[in-house]
Amino acid sequence: MSINNYTVEAYQHIYRYNTHSRVKYWFGGLFLLLVIIAFLPWTQNIRSRGSVTTLRQEQRPQQINTIIPGKLVKWYVKEGDFVKKGDTILQLSEVKDDYLDPNLIMRTEEQMKAKSISIDLYKNKAGTAASQMTALANERDLKLEQTRNKIRQQERKIESDQLDLQAAINELNVSNRQLQAGQAMLDSGVIALIDYEKRKVAYQNTQAKKISAENKLANAQQELTILKIELNALEQEYTEKISKVTGERWQSLSEVASGQGDIAKLQNQFSNYNIRNEMYYILAPQNGQITKAKKAGIGEIVKEGDILVEIVPDHLQYAVEVFVRPVDLPLIAIGQKVRFWFDGFPAIVFSGWPNASYGTFGGKVFAVENSVSSNGKFRVLVEEDPDDRPWPKQLRIGGGAQGMALLKNVPVWYELWRNINGFPPDYYKPSLEKTAKQ
């Protein structure tokens, strides 16, 4: 009995001559699906790894240093404690011999008071000198006026003596003519000798009167010269007296100015001592947590500028710092949207479809540094996006984060072509209106 190959069921299932292949349909459908996917929108992005930081520098961990050298006396906190602004962290004691005197401030204040009294005395001395100058000036003017009056009187007397002298000269001339006429008449026998003798006596008397008038005029002129010399002497005398008093006054004022300078210096020292006393207690500059105590124990000596502890502020405005390559820097703009996923927080990320991702958080570019960092990249600071889901409260400064800056929407086929050829993302800059709305 012959066996028909076409009637064997197993044979038909192996070779399937009577069935039609659906491979071309699957291939066509797959090709159509790839074409559809190729034209789907794809969001270009720049990915970079960064770390959590703060937006403002005063919110970052800061060192608490000592301004003055000293010795540790007492700790008021320990590592991990939370403090408020103004709380005492530790106490120092003085180690410099210039400030060991416990009554240093009081003694400085006493020096200031003594110097103030000295200044007041010098001011009074200067005021007395000014009054003395005024009195000397008045006395000088009075005596000078008296001397000038005497000079004017003496000048009038000289004028009177000059008139008397002129009258005596006139009388002498008359007597001389009479005497000559008498001599002629005596020689002629007209008058007697006794009349001639009378005329001779009269001539001699007028001559004596003239000499007396001349002497009187000379004495008056001499007296005028003496008065003028006395006037000059008075001016010189009072000029010297006033100059001496003026010098004493200026010396007193100089002492006042010097004393005021000393008081200013003492006030400066007094303020410095007061401020230094306040520096013996190290206070917390802001609210936060104490970490990393650099000094330990009691009695340890610290130098000025030494780090004592670090404090981490408790109120933070978190941000993320990322570093981008120089070739990607033109694609970053302030206000640009960025997606983040933080270390320790579960996330499912689809690079080209950020809206389909899970566990990511939104951010906006806050600042872009213009100088390159030590790693050869540019630092970008990203703040939290207020229009997106809030960032986790469990974030800590220094934690890792990965960012994805969202750029232009392009088809999938274009993004594949760009990556195959090694081209950078398309230049894209968000408009100001869009940024403002975001």
Sequence ranges of the domains in the chain: 40-55+317-437, 62-94+280-312, 104-276
Write down the pLDDT at residue 195. 79
Taking the C-alpha atoms of residue 348 and residue 360, their distance in angstroms, rounded to an integer, is 8
pLDDT at 436: 39
Mention every residue, 6+ apart, whose C-beta is less than 8 A from residue 56. 317
Q: Does CATH place domain 104-276 in 1.10.287?
A: yes
pLDDT at 304: 84
| Whole-number pLDDT of residue 374 | 85
Between helix 104-188 and helix 193-278 the angle, nearest 10°, is: 170
Whether 361 and 349 have beta carbons less than 8 Å apart is answered as no
Query: What local confidence, expressed as pLDDT, does residue 182 receive?
Result: 77
3-state secondary structure of 84: coil
Per-residue pLDDT tens listing for the chain (438 residues):
444 544 555 555 555 555 566 777 777 788 788 777 777 776 666 778 888 888 888 778 888 888 888 888 888 888 888 888 888 888 888 888 777 777 888 888 888 888 889 888 888 988 888 888 889 889 888 988 998 898 889 888 888 888 888 888 888 888 888 878 878 887 787 777 887 788 888 888 888 888 888 888 888 889 888 988 988 998 898 889 889 988 888 888 888 888 888 888 888 888 888 888 888 888 888 888 888 888 877 888 888 888 888 888 887 788 888 888 887 777 787 888 888 878 877 766 666 666 666 778 888 888 888 888 888 888 888 888 888 888 888 888 888 888 877 766 667 777 677 777 666 666 566 654 444 344
- CA 180 vs. chain centroid, Å, equals 108
CATH 2.40.30.170 matches 40-55+317-437 = yes
Q: In what order do the strands lie in the sheet with 301-302?
A: 281-283, 88-93, 70-75, 301-302
The hierarchical CATH code for the domain 62-94+280-312 is: 2.40.50.100
